[in-house]
Structure 1
Amino acid sequence: QAGNTDARSRAGNTVFKSGPLSISSKGLGWTSWKKRWFILTRTSLVFFRSDPSAVQQRGSEVNLTLGGIDLNNSGSVVVKADKKLLTVLFPDGRDGRAFTLKADTMEDLQDWKAALENALTQAPSASHVMGQNGIFRNDHAEAPAGVDEQKEETPTQSTVLGRPVLLALEDVDGAPSFLEKALRFVEDHGVKIEGILRQAADVDDVEHRIREYEQGRKDFSPTEDAHVIADCLKYFLRELPSSPVPASCCNALLEACRTDRGNRVNAMRE
């Protein structure tokens, strides 16, 4: 039963709730929604194409996380019951994050509201989360000089290239996003080019290509300058208010790498 998952754990974190919710590519007030499977812990809310515990995996196939967000205890939940909408807000101002989800039923709406509020009360302190990438600060290491000042000066946002952060990896209709298309281009056409991620392209060319993408030129052709597309990719990642892969998933991946080679895929599924 979705939601009855308190006894389960994910990467060492108790799962407060899991189940289907819908996300929108166009934000509150629009009707374009895509249903995805969400898993909520005290440190993150992540989503998959389908329930990772129910999908029959084949060989090395893994039901990868499509996106998500790191949580901290500054968050709050606002409900619009008439539309069955949940909006999670972070007023701390460091991550600039706010996102809206839609439940199927009123019962699901109230269950998710209670679970989110419970998770947020137990989430890490906002002061222990790095402002731009949502990764926990090492308590045993001093922050580099000027980090706090840079955090305050960095403008915050919840969209990148006009799209909600939760759709960094997949558009609402299931089509590849800007990030996936750019990564595929680099894999297919850029890996053999010297310094593909090290050498910078002309800034004007990069900004021009990004404007073209925003205006509807959504695909990258093989004849395009690989350095320009690689810099578009770096631009996109820099603009994200938090990492497209939550810190809890990064930690789980590191833990899986420390296990025996034959057990790594199973460790990532857990």
Structure 2
Amino acid sequence: MQKATNSDTSMETLNSTRQGTGAVQMRIKNANSHHDRLSQSKSMILTDVGKVTEPISRHRRNHSQHVLKDIIPPLEQLMVEKEGYLQKAKIADGGKKLRKNWSTSWIVLSSRKIEFYKEPKQQALSNTKTGYKPESVDLCGAHIEWAKEKSSRKNVFQITTVSGNEFLLQSDIDFIILDWFQAIKNAIDRLPKDPSCSSRNLDLFKIQRSSSSELLSHYDSEIKEQKPENRKSLMFRLHHSASDTSDKNRVKSRLKKFITRRPSLKTLQEKGLIKDQIFGSHLHTVCERENSTVPWFVKQCIEAVDKRGLDVPGIYRVSGNLATIQKLKFIVNQEEKLNLDDSQWEDIHVVTGALKMFFRELPEPLFPYSFFERFVEAIKNPDNNTRIEIVKSLVQKLPPPNRDTMKVLFGHLTKIVSKASKNLMSTQSLGIVFGPTLLRAENETGNMAIHMVYQNQIAELMLSEYNKIFSSEED
């Protein structure tokens, strides 16, 4: 009786298949008996008319007895384990670091891979149009871990493939990202560790990210597999010399002798191996070294700006290219010959940026710490003439390098102000730029905002009343 029922069911399935166009329909004639209900879970796929393929093994998601649908979905859809929206960022491609750009992706997890789509419609297109291929991640041999340090966002984990691709996945909802992490981890753990997982690529990728000691040990193993005539590489010699006890002792003794006999800093400076820095040194130290009261670098920068920067809009306010400024700083520190008329310093904002950096990196600002409070008290005076006289007396009491450098700098800035109609830099604008750069308290407290106001006002007063403040120096 059971055989007859199954036979009728199969024949009717074949007949319905011949009537349709490749679609598979399942009709259940009778589901009264227990045996008949069990037979409902056995599905057949008919790819061609009259051709019966092998039964599909039930997927873990389909182990329960669901009501059979009229149309059996494709095999790819049966293998889908999880899908949904997540934030995705690809940060490495074949070991090469990429710029992190987050985007929303429709993520489909199957038993072996993850596919990324912009939206679920693209997944449907990939099943019908063979020309469309989504970005895919092979999970065989992949590694998954939480990556809090890779992003300021919360709930971020990273997937690293054997080919060196790295992906970050993220969601603001805790239970969603935890569910995805566990699902992907389970998929990776279920995959076999077989040669098809590109183990060689995984080894190379690990070597690329490993430390120098791990890299050396890897090449040691590679050298052992080489032919005798090819064992003359540097790594081979290092390996065998390091493995020899006597060689190790000899290397250690040489290192000890070198350390005990290493020259002092003064000796290296006398030989010119280590040179005194211009940036970051005390102003009086730089001036003593140059036998002057104004650093030559300050003079050169002012001369260059006077020559080709007075009419430039936003001079001293617009920032120059930081990399070029750092290059200029390096050349100055190495005491190499500097020509600011060279084409590489064509951007005048690089010169002004370097000059501001010089004053900003002074260990003690141009207005010494011991004078800061006195200048602040002077600027608080309500009477303008009294304020000018107090500031003038303070300037005269400054050390010569500070006073003379201040005179040269503010004299140059008055020329900038005289061209304000072209460069758009007023006294107030220059005060905002140079106030915090030239004046600051030794111990910053909660009065930073108030101090900033006074810093700007002092710089403005030095500019607007330049002739009165420095009149004694000009007599």
**Class of the TM-score when normalised by the shorter of the 2 chains:** 0.3 to 0.5
Greater strand fraction, Structure 1 or Structure 2? 1
Greater helix fraction, Structure 1 or Structure 2? 2
| TM-score, structure 2 normalization | 0.23
Identify which of structures 1 and 2 has the higher relative contact order when contacts are C-alpha pairs closer than 8 Å and 6+ apart: 1
| TM-score, structure 1 normalization | 0.37
